[in-house]
């Protein structure tokens, strides 16, 4: 099984939901991939006060994602600020071409920067099956916590949507490869470029294979990159070098 993946790296307008949705649509219009991945809070920018821009699950952002997926026959995933049952979530949305939506709520909120103030942290890992591959959905700061992303033979690729600032650029690049190597899995990391009121972003969106090799790299400009994930190649490597069998057992609380 093979899955073609496209990463959309762009500079988003601050709290400009209509403008950002239109821009994302233009950028990914020419993608040939079966799965398109967007950055963290792609429709608003990394807003720490969700009360200003949060939407319900039937709001503009989710509606746009469902319409796009249904119209193009591609799956679409990215993070958005969602208001649900009186609480606010940094929610990764995975939308299938049927319009079905699977959600993952960011587990590790960036409390250092204030994200932990009004947002509610998620409690469950979420793996979705699509295009013959099993995909673990994670968001930005989750990248720093390897236990949460440890592969227990339950996924083939990790998908990270992020708003990762330039000041920690090398951390981003290093940890993406570390997660790929230690879990013997593909890693997809999509970041934004540009500036917002608190940070500058240099992109470095990348697709890394199970040996830590770069399959596609977006650099520091607005662009769409693509690469193919090959599950058979991954399984051959895991069979030949089954380091995962020697991993320490643990239980997540």
Q: Is 106 labeled as catalytic in the residue annotation?
A: yes
Q: Class assignment of domain 2-246?
A: alpha beta
How do the domains of the chain map onto residue ranges?
Answer: 2-246
Beta bridge partners of 135: 128, 157
* DSSP alpha helix (H) spans, the chain: 17-28, 60-72, 169-183, 231-240
Residue 60's CB is within 10 A of a number of other CB atoms, namely 14
pLDDT digits (tens, 9 = 90+) for 76-114: 999 999 999 999 999 999 999 999 999 999 999 999 988
Nearest-angstrom CA–CA distance, 51 and 30? 34
Beta bridge partners of 227: 5
Q: Is 140 labeled as catalytic in the residue annotation?
A: yes
Phi, psi of 96, rounded to the nearest 5 degrees: -85, 165
The active-site residue out of 106, 115, 151, 184 is 106
pLDDT digits (tens, 9 = 90+) for 16-64: 999 999 999 999 887 889 999 999 999 999 999 999 999 999 999 999 9
Nearest-angstrom CA–CA distance, 53 and 37? 21
The active-site residue out of 23, 55, 115, 140 is 140
Residue 222's CB is within 10 A of a number of other CB atoms, namely 15
Q: Is 70 labeled as catalytic in the residue annotation?
A: no
């Amino acid at each position: 099984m093979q899955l073609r993946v496209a990463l959309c790296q762009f500079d988003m307008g601050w709290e400009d939901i209509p403008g950002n949705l239109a821009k994302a649509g233009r950028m990914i219009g020419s993608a040939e991939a079966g799965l398109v991945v967007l950055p963290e809070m792609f429709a608003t920018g990394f807003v720490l006060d969700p009360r200003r821009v949060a939407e319900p699950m039937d709001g503009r952002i989710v509606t746009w994602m469902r319409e796009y997926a249904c119209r193009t026959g591609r799956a679409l995933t990215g993070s958005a600020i969602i208001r649900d049952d009186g609480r606010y979530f940094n929610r990764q949305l995975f939308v299938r071409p049927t319009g079905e939506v699977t959600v993952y709520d960011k587990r590790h909120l960036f409390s250092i920067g204030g994200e932990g103030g009004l947002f509610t942290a998620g409690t469950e890992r979420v793996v979705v099956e699509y295009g013959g591959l099993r995909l673990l959905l994670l968001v930005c700061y989750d990248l720093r916590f390897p236990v949460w992303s440890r592969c227990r033979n339950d996924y083939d690729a990790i998908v990270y949507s992020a708003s990762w600032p330039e000041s920690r650029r090398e951390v981003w690049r290093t940890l993406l490869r570390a997660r790929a190597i230690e879990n013997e899995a593909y890693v997809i990391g999509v970041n934004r470029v540009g500036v917002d009121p608190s940070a500058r972003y240099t992109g470095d969106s990348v697709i890394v294979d199970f040996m830590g090799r770069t399959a596609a790299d977006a650099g520091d400009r607005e662009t769409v990159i693509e690469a193919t994930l090959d599950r058979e190649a991954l399984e051959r490597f895991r069979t030949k070098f089954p380091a995962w069998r020697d991993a320490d057992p643990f239980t997540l609380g």
